[in-house]
Structure 1
């Protein structure tokens, strides 16, 4: 009987894992399956005439990686801190480093707590958000990596 009860409790529950991080005071995430690794700050080579959110290029064990400042992309002021982190994600054959303020944890979230992006948000930021997960003490914003990595004005 106990086994049947636990089976019933798990019906309809679907857990997904997200890599959580902070940008300013906001809590954001990307799917763990899209993350190759998390690394400390690297030497960045600036690229002339690149968009302001492209910090430059980094050399990651022989692979060239485009470094993207999510703060700049989201219109937030730059941080003076050198304690930022890079989340390395892959899109096709290319690697990207998403610059974030702080890495949180890998977070297990129940997909039933997922909400669509509110229509009330400005389209400038709304297009980069895949949705929002409700947690006990805060909201966790899920970023849409496809939109972030294929940025068009």
Structure 2
């Protein structure tokens, strides 16, 4: 029986997961360097032990409104949130999320595709969902999340 392990987290009080095969590590939020003229979903750059990573505001990328991790001055509050460092195509980036939860394991036979009624970027970036006792964990398609041409 095929199984999938997900790193689970919250963004704007919605429960998401990404396949752990893409997750390099999870770190607490840290100081970021702003990038002038960057798109609104790019928070800035972080230095992870000498490796420079682009920090993506996942809430903005998913078009779920402005992140609560941003102050009224439009700067990220480095005392809140977490960075999930993900790797795809030998490139590492950081996804800024509100809270990180557990690694959960699911049998793929319970996986459900996104509903046809879901529209916009969320439908395209969502791989599907796994049912829980209460609600669902929404599984993100990390390749689409990181695709710069997709924005």
What TM-score, normalized to structure 2? Answer: 0.88
Please list, as runs of the form range in 1=range in 2, the aligned pairs for 1:4-153 lying within 5 A after superposition: 13-75=1-63, 76-80=65-69, 82-151=79-148, 152-153=150-151
Secondary structure of residue in 1 paired with 2:122? helix
How many residue pairs end up in the alignment?
141
**Does structure 1 retain, via aligned residues, the 8 Å contact 2:12–2:67?**
no
Rounded to whole Å, the distance in 1 between the matches of 2:138 and 2:68 is 20
Answer 1 or 2: higher relative contact order, Cα 8 Å, separation at least 6: 2
> Structure 2: any 5+ residue segments left out of the alignment?
70-76
- Name the one with the larger helix percent: 1
Q: Which whole-Å CA distance do the structure 2 matches of 1:30 and 1:14 have between them? A: 16
Q: Secondary structure at the match of 1:127?
A: helix
Which residues of structure 1 form unaligned runs of 5+?
Answer: 1-12
**DSSP-derived class of the 2:93 partner:** strand
Distance, in Å, in 1 between the alignment partners of 2:30 and 2:90 is: 21
Q: Secondary structure at the match of 1:148?
A: helix
Moved over 3 A (4+): none
Question: Superposition RMSD on alpha carbons, in Å?
Answer: 1.3
Q: Which residue does the alignment assign to 1:5?
A: none
